[in-house]
Amino acid sequence: MESQVRGGTRWKRFAVVMVPSVLATAAVGVGLAQGALAASFSVSGQQFKVTAGHLHGVGFAQYGGIDTVYKSTEGKEKTPVPVAISSFETARIDKMCQSVATKIPLIGKTVYLRLEAGNDPKKPVTAENLYIDVAQLKADAKFTNIDIGVAVQDKTRGPAVKEGESVLPGGFAQQAQTADLYGVEQTAWATTAGTFTLNGLSMRLGTDSEMECY
């Protein structure tokens, strides 16, 4: 079976790609109160932006989870936030850009870090056992052999749930044999991978907001 979602039907795209995050938001309070969540994955208090011309993933799974975010750079106070965890057994990414903005009180400015890789179509970015903790995603998406509504512990595609990640037992998941995302614009809290090969990597620092990927 093949499922395809295009930009003209944005509500369908939202439903397929972001439902786990919505469910996680509703369930986080109940889960914490009942002690159903394990120790959550701790991340910095900064989100980062990622764009890609095309991401082709094999062995895709997505499910809701909880990250623990530091509320300040002092690292003393944390808060739980819901995320949609997208995972891939293997992934190939063309024209990848990643940017993060950091306020520097000492100079009274925001400094932007921008990374680019995979601009040569013959040398894309590649990854194995890739996890992306997504806060927001916009893309055109195409899935093959997709199953929507699978319990997290019963999924058969994608890498195993990341160690230390909080998920609800019996929580909502979806999986597919392959996933193709085009024109990706996403905001994420964390990205981890078993291997991550950044061919043609370039890095820049600056104070111009136009350095952000979008």
pLDDT in tens, the chain (214 residues): 444 444 433 444 434 444 444 444 444 444 434 444 334 456 788 899 999 999 999 999 999 888 888 876 666 788 888 889 999 999 999 999 999 999 888 888 999 999 999 999 999 999 999 999 999 999 999 999 999 999 988 999 999 987 777 776 678 899 999 999 999 999 999 999 999 999 999 999 999 999 999 9
Buried b (16+ CB within 10 A) or exposed e, 113-148: bbbbbbbeeeebbbbebbbbbbbebbbbbbbeebbe
pLDDT at position 41, please? 58
What is the pTM for the complete model shown? 0.80
Residue 154 gets the label, from left (phi > 0), alpha (psi -120 to 50) or beta, of alpha
Strand 109-117 with 96-104, pairing:
antiparallel
Distances (CA, A) of 212 to 105, 132, 203, 204: 20, 19, 12, 11
107 Cβ neighbours under 8 A, 6+ residues apart: none
* CA–CA dist 116, 202 (Å, integer): 5
* CA–CA dist 180, 54 (Å, integer): 7
Task: Read off the amino acid at residue 84.
Answer: A
Q: Please classify residue 53 by burial: count the beta carbons closer than 10 Å to its beta carbon, then call 0-12 exposed, 13-18 middle and 19+ buried.
A: middle
Domains of the chain: which residue ranges?
2-156+166-211
* CA–CA dist 149, 87 (Å, integer): 16
Buried b (16+ CB within 10 A) or exposed e, 60-83: bbbbbbbbbbbeeeeeeebebbbb
Strands (E), 71-119: 78-94, 96-104, 109-117
* CA–CA dist 62, 84 (Å, integer): 7
Under DSSP, the state recorded for 164 is T
